[in-house]
Chains A and B, each alone.
Chain A
Amino acid sequence: MISCLHANLAACEAVLSDIDQQGIDTITCLGDLVGYGPQPNEVIELVRERSIPTCQGCWDEDIIDGLNACECSYPSQLAERRGHRAHHWAAERITENNKAFLASLPMTLRRDRLLFVHGSPNSQHEYLLPDMNAFAALERVETAGADTLFCGHTHQPYVRELSDGAIRVSVQKDGNHSDSEQEMILPMRRIVNAGSVGEPRHGSTKATYVVHDDDSGEVRVHEVEYDVATTCQAIVEAGLPEVFAWRLSHGFEYAERAEDASHVCER
């Protein structure tokens, strides 16, 4: 699983080469082919050439539908302004043919009990952070009818296992008496975040992806070195906000975190 490629061609090529070397036969992309980086068309065309099944990310959606998420998508106003600049830069350069491809991408992909999304099953904009309330996180996987949910969007890879869950309830109806207590045993479920190929923010500049073994169920996070300086230089030369190059060369979020990362934009 690869995610959040963000128009960073050097990182995409390095990750795909690493995947090929391991003889992995099924690649799935969790969206955000564009945004932040300087090579949106090249990255879209690479994904198209290799026929990688891809779901639509929030940046992909915004390029097609226009910016209609509210300010909640960004952690600060400065970050929002930078994001808008990058959006307009990309929207002007992405070819009509490639935009049609982005528009054709599904929100989710499914293979048996494995579900693939960008943000969450509810929205490409919702962040499933590793410290999200465990019951709410389980609800996302369970309501979507999956055993394992693969997502991206946060740019921080993790594997989360939710187990040994139970909820006890008592119900009061018409009268004022409470019925006896009932217990619901919760199923074990997993959330796997693939991190980011093109804009890692997990404290390292290395691109990340995850490998899932369909037979054993084992999940491993892989990190791949690539030529960060080349992409940084291309960002600056393209006239994109320089902080994107700074962030790429440090490997963590520049702005403060959103106040309520679990907020779902209603617009």
Chain B
Amino acid sequence: MERWALVSGLRGDLDLYEQIQADLQKQRGTAHLFVLGDMIGPHPNCDALLKRLRQPKRRDLQPHCIYGWQEEQLLSLHGYRGEAKAEELHRQSDESEVRRLLQAVGTEHLNWLASLQFGLIELDCGLIHGSSADVGDELDETTSPLILLDRLTRLEVNRLFTARSGRQFRLQLTGGQIRSKVRDHAGEQLNDQPVPRRSVIGVGSSGNYTLYDPASDHIEFRSVHDQLRAR
């Protein structure tokens, strides 16, 4: 079976994207590239990267993009999200940063960004920028396993690939249980529920990305930064 590459947080950096594409050329058997949001950011100009994602070069591994937290903020600034007006962005940034994000993306890309999906389900895997709860949900290896299990349960997937925290990790639920006792008009029901064997994978951000082999369930965390340093 063919491997997947999972990338996020390019934030308008076409050079970085080209380095990742070059790195992928060297990886045998990598056939699918998923870009889990944050293609844009307060970069001087994101248009060149967006154009490349929309119109890949012949040698590029074709990217499948979903939207991330940055796209959500930009789209809500432009009125694509009903009454929401990028409250999160305003809370976290000053006005100059909001302005920079607005200026970084040409309006010709807005409808394309607005057409992107919140998440993808591939085989038994969920691919989302944040989580099934919210695009801004930051999950990492220190997040309570109860919350991670909830996010997996909401999607009914065995693996959730997330990018929002920027961390690279795989947390596997390996065992455990819970007892539920319900008393209602039908009487009393006792039920022991085991923890399902599921996992949450942080794919990383920027030059840190992840390769996944669905056939063997093997995960490899890669970094193009390491390779630059090694040169």
Contacts and interface: CB of A to CB of B under 8 A. Distances in A.
Given A135-B149, A169-B171, A160 B181 contact: yes
A163 interface: yes
Nearest to B150: A139
A156 B153 CA distance: 23
Contacts of B183: 158-160
A112 interface: no
A165 B177 contact: yes
Contacts of B193: 133-135
B176 A165 contact: yes
Interface stretch (A31-39, A55-63, A179-187): A179-187
B133 to A, nearest CB: 8
A20 interface: no
A181 B144 CA distance: 14
Contact of A171 (B141, B149, B150): B141
B190 to A, nearest CB: 10
A174 interface: yes
B180 A134 contact: yes
A173 B220 CA distance: 10
A170 B201 CA distance: 12
Main secondary structure of the interface of A (DSSP, over half): mixed
Main secondary structure of the interface of B (DSSP, over half): strand
Interface in B166-200: 168-185, 191, 193, 195
B184 A167 contact: no
A133 B145 CA distance: 15
A94 B145 CA distance: 45
B170 A168 contact: no
B123 interface: no
Contact of A184 (B146, B150, B154): B146
Contacts of A156: 184-185
A172 interface: yes
Contact of B172 (A143, A165, A170, A184): A170
Given A158-B184, A171-B171, A174-B168, A138 B144 contact: no
A166 B219 CA distance: 26
Given A135-B150, A166-B177, A176 B185 contact: no
Interface string A197-211: 000001110000000
Contacts of A158: 182-184
A247 B221 CA distance: 57
Interface of B: 82, 141, 144-147, 149-150, 153-154, 168-185, 191, 193, 195, 219-221
Given A135-B195, A160-B181, A165-B177, 12 more contacts: A133-B193, A136-B154, A156-B185, A170-B174, A171-B141, A172-B171, A172-B172, A173-B141, A174-B168, A176-B220, A181-B174, A184-B145
